[in-house]
Amino acid sequence: MSGAEFVPLSLVPLLTGICVAIACALPGNFLVLRRQALIGDAISHVVLPGIVVAFLIGGTITTLPMLLGAAGAAVVAVGAIEAVRRLGRIETGAAMGVVFTTMFAGGVLLLEQSDTSSVHLDVEHALYGNLESLIWLDATGWSSLLDPQALAGIPVELPRMAATLFVVAGFIALFWRPLKISTFDEGFARTIGLRTGPLGLALVIMAAIAAVAAFDAVGSIIVIAMFICPPAAARLMTNRLEHQIAWSVGFATLAAVLGYVLAGYGPLWIGLQDSVSAAGMIATVSGLILAVTALVGPHRQRGSAAPVG
Amino acid sequence: MIRDALLLQLGYNATLVTLGATLLGMAAGVGGTFLFLRKRALVSDAISHATLPGVALAFMVMVTLGGTGRNLVGLLSGAALSAAVGLLLVSWLGTRTRLAEDAAIGSVLSVFFGFGIVLLTVIQTMSAGQQAGLEGFLLGSTAGMLRSDALVIAVSAALTLALVLLMRRPLTLASFDPDYAVSIGQNVRRTDLAMMGLVLAVTVVGLKIVGLILIVALLIIPPVTARFWTERTDRVVLISGAVGGLSAYVGAALSAAIPAVPTGPIIVLVGFVLFMLSLLMSPERGVVSALARHRAHQRRVHLRQGLLAMAQGQPIYENMTLRLLQRQGWARPDGVPTELGRGRAARALRDESRWQVIRSDPAFEAATAQDDGLTDIETVLTADQLAEVDARIPKAEVMS
């Protein structure tokens, strides 16, 4: 396939997919180890009412208010889960279930009640996203990557996702030691004076930022998959956190590339005409990777869970 | 219109759906209770998302065989099959690998759902078949439901509820006291399996009414709501069933009566309203009663401290204490004790001295355990014991 075709049609979705996958997998490593893996699931459900409310208030579907609405909803959800957990003395899983299903239901109801049919805002879009639509119209070939004029027309999702990835990676690099210590031994972290509460909250907020930024471009399902599958698969490969992060980045990239290619070209190979959902395929591939590591990963058994360090 | 709906006056289909939803809500409330008590509430999330590829595959198979793909029983069978596979994978990942259960749940739900979406996009490009019926499975839809569909839902909801009621004894035992259940020879593993099967059945039946994303709410919210009202398992089960049934009944009726109100979300929101009422209002665990208890305790502490200060002739500066003492008629606005107040103060001081005596005596250890600085010693000790204690108080301190 030539650059003249690949660069405008596939380069941007592919790179965006990779950025989303890595930006979600990085915090996902800590969430999986802290048994908060389902935070990603909760966040991606509550983003919907945030976006709907932002739309109802702002009246437009411009990006910034939507991102603010989604981020606001994520913060509200985290606060509400904590409130239900403390006020009602209910275990975390059930508290999460109550809050995110209710907020999602509220979002759907608002969506149906308000006249949003004229705009590109619907539940299916929120769930699947539309990675394939990120077409770079101004590109003519590989040379466009050096052409400032063409670069100006690149779909905004790519630079936004790249910036998100940068922020998330920066957060993890900056707080590497406290994150690592508090993840493996919260008691010890507290005795040496780390503020584990705010740190945990900051991690969840980072996850929310990654989820919200990814949401518009690729939908919620791939976000949940990327938070959990690559880190979980990586956990079955190694006992060292540094290596686990590296594995998860590798798996995330592999899932994004392979998933995108399979979605775009796979059906053609078996004689079908149309491509299938790229987001869905990326999630599927990440699951297959997890399945392989669960069957043959060197550290798949619980017995091999020596202290990670 | 709403009254008609609540009284089941909107025709045969709507009535069947409302009744089916109610039965389903009751089954979900009861089944969800066991899941909640076993701390596995979110397993239902994985189960429900795992139904999507099954629905899509069943549709494709039925279309390939020459049908329209709209047969509800066929679609639900597919859903049940793929949800069962998802459930097995969750338990396999959770027990055979070192992944925690939440990671197992999350990975299964996202991957199955993702694969389901891949299949849905394949279906969109298929020329045969009416895919219109499929979209309802995401968020539930009762609009345009065929008479036969409504009947299927009502009957299978009734069957599910009957199943739950049949199995409630072993389930209750295994949920609340697994050790005891094992000791009397119950196979807890098999009971757990049965519980999962039950949740699976509820999920599959609920697909068409509330949709696969929101059926989770019907399994989680009622038990959490019920938990506020009682400490006893059997009652949690009953109340949860009632909450689930009521949410589904009111929600389904509202959705039938008001245009553009989708069934699934409104049922969930009705359930959430019941949850919020319970969180705030329940007598034992509710927020309002907890606040009231806190205030009452605060008042007792302030009164006690005020009385002790008065007894020792110290001035009282603290506003709330002063206000409370005044309201009881124990002090004048300027803080000077009244006659009545002086008497109460003396009693408080004597009580304090008595506590002091028994605190240092190991013979009163049991009574000392109830010493919170507020309890009257007279409620803890007998008259004889009190006399004995009084005899040991240095005379100068006793005021009466």
Cβ–Cβ below 8 Å for B100 and A280: no
Of A89, A109, A294, the CB nearest to B261: A109
Residue B129 pLDDT exceeds 70: no
Report yes or no: A244 at the B interface, CB cutoff 8 Å.
Answer: no
Residue B233 pLDDT exceeds 90: no
Cβ–Cβ below 8 Å for A112 and B261: yes
The dihedral over CA atoms of B361, B367, B372, B376, expressed in degrees to the nearest 10, equals -110
The per-residue pLDDT for A124 is 66
Calculate the alpha carbon distances from B50 to A68, A121, B138, B347 in Å. Answer: 31, 25, 12, 68
Report yes or no: B122 at the A interface, CB cutoff 8 Å.
Answer: yes
**Span B364-370, mean pLDDT?**
75
Percent of chain B with pLDDT over 70: 96
**Span B80-94, mean pLDDT?**
94
Cβ–Cβ below 8 Å for B45 and A37: no
Cβ–Cβ below 8 Å for A127 and B138: yes
3-state per-residue secondary structure call for B96-150: HCCCCHHHHHHHHHHHHHHHHHHHHHHHHHCCCCCCHHHHHHHHCCCCCCCHHHH
Return d(Cα B351, Cα B359) in angstroms, integer.
12
**Burial bucket for residue A201 (CB in 10 Å: 0-12, 13-18, 19+):** middle
Higher pLDDT, B93 or B325: B93
Q: Which of A18-27, A31-40, B25-34, B330-339 has the lowest mean pLDDT?
A: B330-339
Return d(Cα A246, Cα A231) in angstroms, integer.
10
The per-residue pLDDT for B273 is 97
The per-residue pLDDT for B183 is 87
Describe the crossing of helices B188-210 and B12-37 by its angle, rounded to 10 degrees. 150
Cβ–Cβ below 8 Å for A94 and B41: yes
Describe the crossing of helices B72-96 and B147-166 by its angle, rounded to 10 degrees. 40
The per-residue pLDDT for A308 is 46
Return d(Cα B330, Cα B380) in angstroms, integer.
25
Calculate the alpha carbon distances from B283 to A202, B240, B280, B294 in Å. Answer: 36, 17, 9, 14
Per-residue pLDDT of chain A (309 residues; tens, 9 = 90+): 567 778 888 889 999 999 999 999 999 999 999 988 888 888 888 888 888 888 888 776 666 777 788 888 888 998 899 899 998 888 888 999 999 999 999 988 888 877 655 455 566 666 677 787 888 888 888 888 888 888 888 888 899 899 999 999 999 999 999 999 988 888 888 888 888 888 888 888 888 888 888 877 788 888 899 999 999 999 999 999 999 999 999 999 999 999 999 998 888 887 777 788 889 999 999 999 999 999 998 988 876 544 444
Non-local CB neighbours of A260 within 8 Å, separated by 6+ positions: A10, A13, A14, A17, A131, A278, A281, A282
| Residue B75 near residue B59 (C-beta atoms within 8 A) | yes
The per-residue pLDDT for A116 is 57
Length of chain A, please?
Answer: 309
Of B100, B125, B265, the CB nearest to A109: B265
Residue B321 pLDDT exceeds 90: no
Residue B217 C-alpha, separation from nearest chain A C-alpha, in angstroms: 6
Nearest to B247 by CA among B15, B41, B27: B27
Report yes or no: A132 at the B interface, CB cutoff 8 Å.
Answer: no
Of B106, B214, B279, the CB nearest to A40: B106
Tell me the CB-side half-sphere exposure of residue B364, using CA atoms within 13 A.
20
Cβ–Cβ below 8 Å for A32 and B103: yes
Residue B30 C-alpha, separation from nearest chain A C-alpha, in angstroms: 15
| Residue A226 near residue A43 (C-beta atoms within 8 A) | no
Describe the crossing of helices A92-113 and A39-58 by its angle, rounded to 10 degrees. 30
- A296 to chain B: nearest residue by CA? B97
Cβ–Cβ below 8 Å for B106 and A301: no
Q: Which of A130-139, B3-12, B200-209, B299-308 has the lowest mean pLDDT?
A: B3-12
The per-residue pLDDT for A94 is 92
Cβ–Cβ below 8 Å for B114 and A108: no
| Residue B326 near residue B310 (C-beta atoms within 8 A) | no
The per-residue pLDDT for B127 is 62
Structure ipTM: 0.91
Question: First-to-last CA distance in chain B?
Answer: 72
Residue B10 pLDDT exceeds 80: no
Mean pLDDT of chain B: 85
